[in-house]
Chains A and B, each alone.
Chain A
């Protein structure tokens, strides 16, 4: 553990938790502008969260501790990833936790916990949402692993900090077919995992199409606020990982105030641009039929596998 890692470990979670609702606000605002609406403003997600946190905690009758613990567990797993993975600094505060397998497992655990909570309510929607989410995560997780693994082959380490520093020292890597194929695969799985169009519609409560919303339908008050916050931070974490794995420039490699400020600014700009691009793309997209989603994810798995094959054979 180095001083740079510790500073990063403090700055990253604070920045991501504070910034992710703003990111969601920006994305909604971009969408609203493109659709010709005024929009609720960039600060609206934070205002919603403040309102929800101020309410009384209430849980449905017949639910177990699983239901109450799930939002906390999801926020906690995301926070650990935000602390460990290289977002602002190339050094990790938690060393081995920034390993590719640990990070992907932590993120998948957050999803699984929420699906269990959805099952715990024993409502029709909760079960339906949980089963859909499990179908998606079963295809997303291997793709996520294989796609990042393709990048780690040349570096010779599965630690994300090593992958990011190696790309930083050898920018030519970014334009290789390995990176391109892995990038396409990762974009698809990030879209699927964060519940955006065309896999899930984040702004609907229409029963037949919901995935994420169906699982959290029974939450209210502070628990709902935690679920919403976790969803926003997961989006920021996934976009941050995507940005730093392929375009790591700007990330702080030394412990100076300027380097840190540049690192923070670079992360904000990269994630902001990616989020805005995602929101703009969503305007032109319709939701995919649920039975067509495995097709999309199988395609991205194939691309990830080709990326791994190419990293072994073309190099």
Chain B
């Protein structure tokens, strides 16, 4: 792979990651949010695949395939099943911060991410490290989704967005992540989603709704 093609594919995958995060923030329909999360998983796997092709590393190829299976199909599938179990409430109807304001907040978060990751990029400037701000932006947007959404499912997607961002930064900064470490992290995430899914289902069963703001105070 030539150097320019590598840089271009890398940037394109980063653009896809960014776009996925923005669309999760933008859309209200929970099924669309899950689809956008799956698309972001594909972009993440593509990013790792580009790095693998550049470094000619078999380990990274395996990781890329693993990420594609986990983040673009298994996790979205689990989320989609949780959604069908969640009953008729299919929309994030009233987030704590309205959508227009949260999009503008995301713009501020993106600039913040670029500002704070400049020293990191300056340590070893290369096409891969220059994309670190994208990963940090995804982390920040994920955290924003996590704190401003009311539905358990969209909070879960926010958590997973953060994890996608952290993984991105991890792959962009280190020369190669050990296969074992990546496997451990992936299994952790899978376990977290399984546990949270069961928790959501239980909340749903007990209270008839998965709006977490309703659980802020005690009732008889």
Contacts and interface: CB of A to CB of B under 8 A. Distances in A.
A61 interface: no
> Which secondary structure dominates chain B's binding surface?
helix
B65 to A, nearest CB: 24
Given A181-B18, A295-B100, A309 B110 contact: yes
Given A175-B8, A176-B8, A313-B130, A305 B14 contact: no
Interface in B19-48: 19, 22, 26
Contacts of B103: 295, 298-299, 301-302
B167 to A, nearest CB: 19
A55 to B, nearest CB: 43
Contacts of A39: none
A177 B104 contact: no
Given A294-B100, A299-B22, A177 B4 contact: no
A147 B103 CA distance: 16
B15 A310 contact: yes
B26 A177 contact: no
Contacts of B211: none
Contacts of B22: 299, 302-303, 306
> Which size bracket describes the interface of B in this complex?
20 to 34
A172 B121 CA distance: 25
B131 A298 contact: no
B15 A298 contact: no
A88 B161 CA distance: 44
A314 interface: yes
A181 B11 CA distance: 12
Interface of B: 4, 8, 11-12, 14-16, 18-19, 22, 26, 98-101, 103-104, 106-107, 110-111, 114, 121, 130-131, 133-134, 137
Interface of A: 172, 175-178, 180-181, 184, 294-295, 298-299, 301-303, 305-306, 309-310, 312-314
Given A298-B100, A306-B18, A310-B14, 6 more contacts: A177-B18, A181-B19, A295-B98, A298-B99, A301-B104, A305-B107
